[in-house]
Structure 1
Amino acid sequence: MSKQDAGYDYNRYRILLAEAVDETKRLELIELMIREKARDRLEAQRTSDRIAMTAATVSRILGPIAGSRRDSYKFD
């Protein structure tokens, strides 16, 4: 069962459930679904981390630029 790696696909799980005719197959299906949910959560966390790192980098790079532009528009 674990050879198929198509993510959460309703038709795929429906087929796997139909094939789970004994206790061993049902347990394999349950383990597969648990592993895939864990994988999806890990991927979501990695995406969130990448976005946060990108935002921090952009802020660090543009921070001094934005600050210098603000200063140049000051009228005394």
Structure 2
Amino acid sequence: MAKPDAGYDFHRYRKLLAEAVDEPTRLTLIDLLIEERARERLQAQLASERLAVTAKTVASILGISKN
């Protein structure tokens, strides 16, 4: 069995799903899942951009040229 994602709160989502007994509540849960996944992707993108900037800075300090 796969381990749950560190950012994925399985118990919280399971509880929210159990409480989603009507259509509006289910739609709210879906919106929450989409929003939280989008936030995770944005954080990953920002981390990747920071890493690229750091690599570029280190390369320029060391005199490594991309040409």
* Structure 2 unaligned spans of 5+: 1-6
1:63 deviates by 1.5
Please identify runs of 4+ aligned residues in structure 1 that moved more than 4 A: none
Hey, what's the Cα distance between the residues in 2 that align with 1:22 and 1:34? 19
Per-residue CA deviations over 1:13-37 (Å, capped at 9, x if unaligned) read 0000001111111000000000011
Hey, what's the Cα distance between the residues in 2 that align with 1:56 and 1:39? 26
Hey, what's the Cα distance between the residues in 1 that align with 2:12 and 2:63? 48
Give the TM-score normalised by structure 1.
Answer: 0.72
* Structure 1 unaligned spans of 5+: 1-6, 65-76
Hey, what's the Cα distance between the residues in 1 that align with 2:14 and 2:40? 19
Hey, what's the Cα distance between the residues in 2 that align with 1:26 and 1:33? 11
Per-residue CA deviations over 1:49-68 (Å, capped at 9, x if unaligned) read 0000000001111127xxxx
- What is the identity, as a one-letter code, of the residue corresponding to 1:29? L
Hey, what's the Cα distance between the residues in 2 that align with 1:33 and 1:25? 12
Residue 51 of structure 2 corresponds to: 51
- What is the identity, as a one-letter code, of the residue corresponding to 1:14? R
Over the aligned positions, Cα root-mean-square deviation in angstroms equals 1.2
Q: Which has the higher contact order (CA 8 A, sep 6+)?
A: 1
Q: Aligned residue pairs: how many? A: 58
